[in-house]
Amino acid sequence: MKEARLTLTRFLYFMRIAYFIGTLKEEDGVSRVLLRLATAMKEAGHESVIITSHAENPERYPVPVLLLPGEQIFLYKDYYFPKPTSGKEVEKHLESFKPELIHLHSPDTSAWLAITYAKHHNLPTVITHHTDFIRYLPYYHLTLFKPLLWMYLRKTYNRITAVTTPSDVITETLKQHGIKHAETLSNGVDIEKFNPRFRKNEWRNTIAGSPDTPIILFVGRLTWEKDLKTLIQTYDLLEKNDVRFRLAIVGDGPVYAELRKALPHATFLGHLIGEALSTAYASADIFLFPSTTETFGNVTVEAMSSGAVPIVARAGGSISIVQDEKNGFLVTPKDAQAFYEKVVFLIQNPDTREKIIKDAILRAKAFAWPAIITKYINLYNKLITK
């Protein structure tokens, strides 16, 4: 009875959560999930802070952002991780805040600093496995390090009270590799922000020259691990076969220049936020996303919620979102011909496309943020009162 009262009290009043992440960037999917979670916790009356080594425009964020000394990641010059010697800074930052729970969002040095702090103060910890690092290795010719990386993840994650992943397929993968406490707690989507009402013929005219030309959309960070070579090959097949379409690219990243050269007739819109992003999603007809490295696929569910039909690789977290031929299409990974055929099918069958759109929008509602936030609050309560 005492525990039930305590749980109810914490749900109705407040908890103090410290979020740790190596780098906080608005265009990054992991950062967007963290910021949405922090915003929702604040709106529910809970307190939180974010500890990171790098933050863009921290004054714009919904909760205090506390900075640690950081170093650049050698493979990702736009990303940073805290210096391993920053333990005293962590203690100083959190001295007055006194968190009741630590939630980690990247298994870099920020995780080890958080684990050390939590152990010293006898606090529960959660880590969300947002990124499929193992699948990134081949894109950097580092497959040799796969066993070492799994060993590192096991060592890190098994020191943490709870491990969450955004999809069942990733949860099972972690368990198969000896990570004991993995459970699924999916990411969410803002169904008001990503909504068909943002569809605009003016935007379609700007991109395609007419409102009836099919528009294919890609949204994501422009890096090769998003399987952009498959995107290029699919684009080439569409052009080679004189298919009437326009391709719009939303996002930025290290291979931007190479991609512009490979897709000469595509429209590159850069990093979009707010209504501009909502309009891009809702005004497109097809969402083409060949990435095989997603743990969830935030952009896929955002596209579905907006009324664009997803054509995605049958891999990773996408399998947990898209139901093949019902609310989108799952395609053999890295098979440009298969992607091409699905695009052509949707262009040639607008009635089928409209039916799939309705199912896609309905499917996206299952990932609406309010229900997801409630699950997070319940998890936090359980760990704090355990």
Q: Which domains does the chain have, with CATH numbers?
A: 2-188+368-385 (3.40.50.2000), 196-365 (3.40.50.2000)
- Residue 107: helix, strand or coil by DSSP? coil
Q: Which residues contact 263 (CB under 8 A, 6 or more apart)?
A: 231, 232, 235, 247, 249
Strands (E), the chain: 16-20, 47-52, 65-67, 70-73, 76-82, 101-104, 125-128, 162-165, 182-184, 215-219, 246-250, 267-270, 286-289, 309-313, 329-331
- Rounded-to-integer distance, Cα 253 and Cα 271, Å: 9
Residues β-bridged to residue 18: 49, 102
Element (H, E) at 368: none
Q: What is the dihedral of CA 75, 313, 189, 269, to 10 degrees?
A: 60
- Rounded-to-integer distance, Cα 167 and Cα 187, Å: 8
Cα 183 to Cα 44, 286, 313: the distances in Å are 24, 32, 23
Q: Which pLDDT belongs to residue 16?
A: 96
Q: Which pLDDT belongs to residue 3?
A: 41
**For residue range 297-352, what is the model confidence (pLDDT) as tens digits?**
999 999 999 999 999 999 999 999 999 999 999 999 999 999 999 999 999 999 99
Q: Are strands 70-73 and 76-82 parallel, antiparallel or unpaired?
A: antiparallel
Q: Which pLDDT belongs to residue 10?
A: 44
Q: Which pLDDT belongs to residue 14?
A: 85
Smallest CA-to-CA distance from 333 within 185, 199, 227 is with: 227
- Rounded-to-integer distance, Cα 268 and Cα 343, Å: 20
Q: Are 104 and 127 in contact (CB under 8 A)?
A: yes
Q: Which amino acid is at 44?
A: A
Within 13 Å and on the Cβ side, how many CA atoms surround 332?
6
What are 329's two structure tokens? 């299409």
Q: Which parts of the chain register pLDDT below 70?
A: 1-13, 74-77
- Rounded-to-integer distance, Cα 82 and Cα 21, Å: 9
257 burial via Cβ count (<10 Å: 0-12, 13-18, 19+)? exposed
Q: Which pLDDT belongs to residue 180?
A: 86
Q: Which pLDDT belongs to residue 13?
A: 53
Q: Which pLDDT belongs to residue 320?
A: 94
| The pTM of the whole model exceeds 0.85 | yes
Q: Which pLDDT belongs to residue 76?
A: 66
Q: Are 283 and 264 in contact (CB under 8 A)?
A: no
**For residue range 39-73, what is the model confidence (pLDDT) as tens digits?**
999 999 999 999 999 998 888 888 999 999 988 87
What are 334's two structure tokens? 């890295």
- Rounded-to-integer distance, Cα 218 and Cα 310, Å: 10
